[in-house]
Amino acid sequence: MTRIEIRGLTKRYGPDTVVDDLSFTVEPGQVTGFLGPNGAGKTTTMKMIVGLAAPTRGQVTIGGRRYGDLPVPLTEVGALLDAGAVHDSRKAYDHLLALAVSNGLPRRRIDEVLARTGLTGVAGKRAGGFSLGMRQRLGIAAALLGDPRVLIFDEPVNGLDPEGIRWIRDFMRSLAREGRAVLVSSHLMSEMAQTADHLVVIGRGKLIADTGVAEFVRGEGTVLVRTPDPEFALRLTAAGATVREGAESSLVVSGMTS
């Protein structure tokens, strides 16, 4: 079983510490929600996990291996970090083919990931004509090309319509059911409530809360969180969320946005 272990991860840009001594684990078979307001350091953390940014300090271990700041192979980790990254003039199939060739992956994987993401029918079409939802799916197809045990999605539902959002959520759940470790970021507690089994909250680069297995119930404008962490409410309050105690070890959280 492949997990991501993040220990003491720190990133400085000049005088700014944007990720500050962060430690948490992304377990296989679960969707780990990575929650924090805009600018909290989520993207920077994800870039360090996949080797697109070099940590100033600390380490990331994936399946027991450390890659340092080397790019992690697509067979280990697939990531959707920027859906806009596909060139408009590229056909979906060709985008995947270029990735498969440059990463030494078998071509049959292209048809498999196109089918899995529902893009078979538009494989010969240019990405420029794709909706944002289809671009996201193409990005996810690319992330799946190496059949990785670990997947990382940065704000995957941003800007999508309800149908696109539902598709992505269901897809992430199915990846976790297959035993993969899935890390997904959002600035919305309500979004996490729909997808995550386990919640890691950051603010200003620092870990605010790590709930272990959490349970969410979505209400009108609020989210009920049942968590084994007795200090979860205190920590979220300190981070600026509106929290009130619910029944027993559960809390009601609203406004966990920037």
Closest to ligand ADP by CB, 46 or 119: 46
Report the residue number, 36 or 146, with the smaller CB distance to ligand ADP.
Answer: 36
41 binds ligand ADP (CB under 6 A): yes
* Residue closer to ligand ADP (CB basis): 47 or 198: 47
Q: Answer yes or no whether residue 42 interacts with ligand ADP by CB under 6 A.
A: yes
Of 42 and 180, the one with the shorter C-beta distance to ligand ADP is 42
- At closest approach, how far in Å is the CB of 41 from ligand ADP? 4
Encode 86-110: b = buried (16+ Cβ within 10 Å), e = exposed.
Answer: beeebebbbbbbebbeeeebeeebb
Does residue 38 belong to the site contacting ligand ADP (CB under 6 A)? yes
The token pair at 231 is: 């200090």
Q: What residues have CB less than 8 Å from 108, skipping those under 6 apart?
A: none
Q: Is 40 in the site for ligand ADP (CB under 6 A)?
A: yes
Q: Near ligand ADP by CB under 6 A, which window of 42-50, 86-94, 116-124, 145-153?
A: 42-50
Of 71 and 106, nearer to ligand ADP (C-beta) is: 71
Integer Cα distance of 158 and 168 in angstroms: 11
Identify the H or E element spanning 172.
helix 162-177
Q: How far is the CB of 168 from ligand ADP (least distance, A)?
A: 18
Give the separation between CA 223 and CA 55, rounded to whole angstroms: 34
**Among the listed residues 7, 12, 21, 39, the single contact to ligand ADP using CB under 6 A:** 39
Using rule CB under 6 A, residue 43 touches ligand ADP? yes
What is residue 129's DSSP assignment?
G
Give the tokens for residue 201: 């909250």
Strands, E, within the chain: which ranges? 4-13, 16-26, 30-35, 57-62, 65-66, 77-80, 150-153, 181-186, 198-203, 206-213, 215-218, 223-226, 242-245, 250-254
Total residues binding ligand ADP (CB under 6 A): 10
Site for ligand ADP in 119-178 (CB under 6 A): none
Residues that bind ligand ADP (CB under 6 A): 13, 18, 36, 38-44
